[in-house]
Structure 1
Amino acid sequence: MSLSHEIMKNICGYSRAKYSTWFYYRPDHILFDAGEGVSLALRNMIYGIDHIFISHNHGDHIGGLPGLIKSRASSMGDITKPLSIYYPEKDSQILQFKEYLDVSIPKLPFVLTWKGLRPGDQISLNANRFVEAFASDHMGTLSLGYKIIEKRKRLKSEYKGLPQQELIACIKDLGREAIHEEYHKNLLVYSGDTMPLDVSIVQNAEVLLHDATFVLGSDREENTHATVEEACELAIKAQVACLALFHFSSRYSHQQVKDKIYEIITANNVEIPIHYIYPHFYPSDFKQIQIEN
């Protein structure tokens, strides 16, 4: 099983433009955004969440926080487990929302930490993984996307291609660390609501989870959200291993969404797997477009 397939297997989520968006990535205990219904859908899995990364202050991305926090404090699970919420720094609306939650859900049995982030800020997950925030482009709001990055080791360029015996000799003489270098691998990139991201942000990601609100570009009146075609073009240019589309407008039928993705795949000979989550699917249900040979 490929790494991208393994990542997709572990993403649970839901997205419907203007109503609710959230995605839970189980291996790293991360929730990206917290739209309405998230605690109802996840049930006891809410106790697996360590970090919540909020992309921006719109209600369809934060409306599920009150229920999630309340459930964490009173349901059948580890009610003392700490929880951290990250959001765009200095976002006054999110800070007001925090004040409301502090008053409406006082005396929590667990430590709840709120931390504002700027583009480039990093949050450590473990010794080898971290989340990095980046700027997204959504309606002029303070908005962020997030990517899970893994630290990896590889041979320095001057040692690549050497016969095994020479490599062993180099390790004995110089040490293993001296002939290796650290590099960062994009595992999962979450765009949040945005126009198409820059290629450099998502380059070679295993999974790109990208806004695809508009099936038809002509339906976009302002630069607020990406189209299906723009998200697919980005995935191709950035050479990602897998693309997952979300945040479709409910103006489009399921058939229209499938037909558009199929049209793009066949017209461009796209070989990467493309998944999508349609607004009326039950939460956590991603579909992959299948191409008949």
Structure 2
Amino acid sequence: MRLTIHGYSTALFATWYFIEELGLLLDAGDGLTSNLLGKTGKIKHVFISHADRDHLGGLLQYNQLFSHRRPHIYYPKDANSFRFLEDFTGRFDPHTSGTIWTPLEDEQMIDIKTNYRVQGFENKHIDVSGQLKSLSYKVIETKNKLKPEFAKLSSHDIVALKKEKGDGYINEQLQKNVLIYSADTPVFDYSKFDNCDVLIHEATFLKKDELEKGNDRNKHSSLEDVMEMVANISVGQLILGHFSSRYDSSEIDKSIKKLIAHYNIKIPVFRIPIGEVSRDILNGNPLN
């Protein structure tokens, strides 16, 4: 499936990504509804990574406009701010009672469409022992494929065998990571982001040493760390976002291109410009 992804992501101010084909919203920062306009009505499932306001500032307006469609809002189970939000919206906008607010466990799977699931997994942005307060998300496509030993059977024999033994006897289930969204997190475990068609990863800071200055209360990634990881895992396309507004776009692009050359990265690399909405990102021009 070709994915149509729209997004905005500037650190501290707002982050959101909308995948049209899946009716899927990842985070809900300010400007969500004003930029998507009518497309906002296509959102069916909202997955919020954590309770920082730049990732949920647009949630109340979205909910006020489209709660009649009974959207699902998912969040980390120990991020208690969402329980207050649910209570507040119920009082402030009583008509929003149709919205379904669901806390998520680590590694929990949610069906969003036939053959598509979203799995949240704990990251290290808000690292509190024994509490799940921040999540990254993985979109998984599941397909059934005929087992090799039955490949030479006629269609008539396959149908007969399926009736006799069941679908699970003749088919094997294959899973593919269509998309992985890091949300806010430091780079912490390459395997969590490996083997995906599209990786959306934050890169708040450009250099590793900026992470070591002690001013990052909730942990983030550097562009250098992200590109080093991407060079060592299997990713089809990369979208970089959540850059700090301390940088200008030319400085960010120069750093990305330098690291692309350093690691000999061949996959398409896209980035979300500071303070700008990117529409149909994967249909645009990559930096390389």
| Same structural fold, with TM-score higher than 0.5 when normalized by the shorter chain | yes
Equivalent position SS for 1:206: strand
Is 1:281 matched up with 2:276?
yes
Deviation at 1:279, TM superposition (A): 1.5
Fraction of identical pairs, as percent: 30
User: Is the CA contact (8 Å cut-off) linking 1:53 and 1:87 kept in structure 2?
Assistant: yes
Match of 1:265 in 2: 260
Aligned 8 A contact 2:228 2:263 in 1:
no
CA 168–93 in structure 1, closer or farther in 2 if over 3 Å, else same: same
**Where in structure 2 are the equivalents of 1:31-110 lying within 5 Å?**
31-72=25-66, 80-108=68-96
Picking from 190, 200, 206, the partner of 1:209 is 200
1:252 is aligned with what amino acid?
Y
Structure 2 CA distance for aligned equivalents of residues 170 and 226 of structure 1 = 53
- Does 2:102 match 1:111? no
Report deviation, 1:234: 2.1
Relative to 1, partners in 2 of residues 1:197 and 1:284: Cα closer, same or farther, differing over 3 Å? farther
Whether the 8 Å CA contact 2:7–2:277 is kept in 1: the answer is: no
Q: 1:200 aligns with which of 191, 198, 202?
A: 191
Give 5+ residue unaligned stretches, structure 2. Answer: none
Q: Which residue of 1 aligns with 2:235?
A: 240
How many correspondences in the alignment? Answer: 271
Root-mean-square deviation (Å): 2.3
Deviation per CA, 1:119-178: give whole Å up to 9, x if none: 11111123311111111110326100111100023465xx48xxxxx8314984894754
- TM, length-normalised to structure 1: 0.85
Where 2:94 maps in the other structure, the secondary structure is coil
Q: Give 2:247's aligned residue.
A: 252
Which residue identity is paired with 1:92?
N
**Cα separation, 2, equivalents of 1:285 and 1:251:** 26
Unaligned runs of 5+ in 1: 74-79, 161-165
Are residues 46 and 167 of structure 1, via their aligned partners in 2, closer, same or farther at CA, if it must alter by over 3 Å?
Answer: closer
Q: Does the 8 Å CA contact 2:111/2:118 hold for their aligned counterparts? A: yes
What amino acid is aligned across from residue 29 of structure 1 in structure 2? G
Q: What letter matches 1:59 in structure 2?
A: R
CA distance in 1, matches of 2:89, 2:63: 9
The residue that corresponds to 1:76 in the other structure is none
Deviation, structure 1 residue 47: 1.0
SS of the equivalent of 2:21 reads: coil
Q: Which moved more, 1:229-238 or 1:243-252?
A: 229-238
Cα displacement (A) at 1:179? 5.0
Tell me the distance in 1 between the aligned counterparts of 2:210 and 2:36: 33
On the 8 A contact 2:204/2:241 being kept in 1, the answer is yes
